[in-house]
């Protein structure tokens, strides 16, 4: 039976400066998987900003592990102490948790499911890894469909978008004004954009107040994230703009520290002002909810892992079961052939009845042994059962 081997590192074990040195692009991941799959193996590479993992199915698990470790060490020698090494059920459990978002920095993040799917597509897979990745993807989708692990905003940027949508009901066609530029404001803009908003105007902290006042009269959402030492937008400037808005609501999100927006803006009619503390509190509450949902998702994943383990373990006994059934069928047909002189007197319907009865006897005799062998496989002593059956019934002796 082929064994499953996992070698990898992640944000739990290695800092970003180490992870980035073993990160692999699409073509590199595909090429590495193909190299590890030489000699009749199967291999797949999962590489994201938070993890690089190699999955290998091989008859010789120890050699497969050595080769996978060497492959990552060739990219960065210092990575070896940060590698984790898992096999069989533990390796499958890890991938199922990864696909469900349970091993992510933010529980339930959805991007990882697509990354697992890509690793499967780029891998050199066979029966074992194909089954593994398909069931992992199923487990990931099930966790998201049947729990709320990925439904609430779990970052400051996502919380900003959620609050804006709450104010307007829908962000479709709403316009955004960016004050300042950088990673945080870009992430907020992307979150708003994913909900249908449009970034039609932009400004930085050096833009004059008259220009900002004109923009404030047109937009629906303001995202402020500058490095300015003082306020970029005060209540008086916003009050002037409100006269031109004719009662339209304005959402302002201050992501800067120190703050860009004067707190008094929140007291103006029609203005909804949120600062970084407001957003972080939402994130804290959200993560608490996600962790509770993660407990439910863990139970689902465990159930899916058990199904995979039973299938994988049954591979030890399936050949013995097939051989036993083939031997029984061979004996049944031989005995019917011996009785041909008698059976030849029967009409077609009677012949079919004899065939059916003898086949049913064989199936009933073999049913319980088949069930017990599969149960034994899941309990880890299936190999012993399989060898015992082969010995008792002389299976394979003709070939030897």
| Residues annotated as part of the active site | 49
Helix axes 318-338, 348-378, angle to 10 degrees: 160
CA–centroid distance for 43 within its chain: 18
Token pair for 335: 């005995």
Distance, CA of 166 to CA of 153 (rounded, Å): 12
Distance, CA of 94 to CA of 110 (rounded, Å): 17
Helix ranges (DSSP H) in the chain:
16-19, 26-36, 61-75, 88-99, 111-122, 127-146, 156-168, 183-194, 209-216, 235-245, 276-314, 318-338, 340-343, 348-378, 382-393
- Site of tokens 């590192």: 9
Q: Which of 176, 323, 379, 160 shows the shortest CA–CA distance to 254?
A: 160
Contact assessment for residue 308 and residue 92, using Cβ atoms and an 8 Å cutoff: yes
């Amino acid at each position: 039976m082929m064994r499953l081997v996992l070698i990898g590192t992640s944000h739990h074990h290695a800092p970003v400066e180490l992870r980035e040195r073993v990160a692999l692009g699409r073509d590199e991941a595909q090429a590495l998987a193909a190299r590890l799959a030489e000699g009749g193996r199967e291999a797949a590479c999962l590489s994201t900003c938070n993890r690089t993992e190699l999955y290998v199915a091989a008859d010789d698990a120890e050699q497969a592990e050595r080769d996978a470790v060497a492959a990552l060490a060739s990219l960065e020698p210092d990575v070896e102490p940060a590698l984790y090494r898992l096999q069989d059920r533990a390796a499958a459990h890890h991938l199922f948790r990864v696909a469900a978002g349970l091993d992510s920095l933010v529980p339930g993040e959805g991007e990882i499911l697509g990354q697992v799917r890509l690793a499967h597509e780029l891998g050199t897979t066979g029966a074992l890894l194909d089954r593994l990745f398909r069931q992992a993807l199923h487990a990931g989708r099930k966790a998201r469909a049947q729990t709320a692990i990925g439904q609430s905003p779990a970052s400051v940027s996502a919380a900003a978008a959620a609050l804006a949508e709450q104010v307007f009901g829908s962000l479709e066609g709403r316009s955004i004004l960016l004050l300042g530029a950088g990673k945080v404001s870009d992430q907020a803009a992307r979150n708003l954009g994913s909900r249908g908003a449009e970034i039609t105007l932009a400004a930085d902290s050096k833009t004059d107040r008259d220009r900002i006042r004109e923009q404030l009269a047109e937009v629906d959402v303001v995202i402020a994230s500058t490095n300015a030492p003082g306020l970029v937008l005060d209540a008086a400037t916003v009050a002037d703009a409100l006269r031109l808005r004719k009662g339209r609501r304005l959402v302002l999100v201050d992501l800067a520290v120190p703050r860009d927006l004067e707190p008094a803006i929140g007291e103006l009619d029609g203005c909804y002002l949120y600062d970084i503390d407001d957003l972080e509190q939402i994130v804290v509450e959200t993560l608490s909810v996600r962790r509770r949902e993660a407990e439910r998702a863990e139970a689902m994943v465990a159930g899916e892992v058990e199904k995979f383990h039973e299938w994988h373990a049954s591979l030890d006994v399936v050949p013995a079961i097939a051989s036993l059934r083939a031997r029984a069928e061979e004996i049944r047909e031989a005995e019917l052939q011996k009785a041909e002189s008698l059976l030849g007197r029967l009409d077609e319907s009677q012949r079919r009845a004899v065939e059916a009865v003898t086949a049913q006897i064989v199936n009933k005799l073999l049913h319980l042994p088949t069930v017990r062998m599969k149960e034994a496989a899941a309990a880890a002593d299936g190999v012993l059962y399989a060898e015992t059956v082969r010995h008792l019934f002389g299976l394979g002796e003709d070939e030897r």
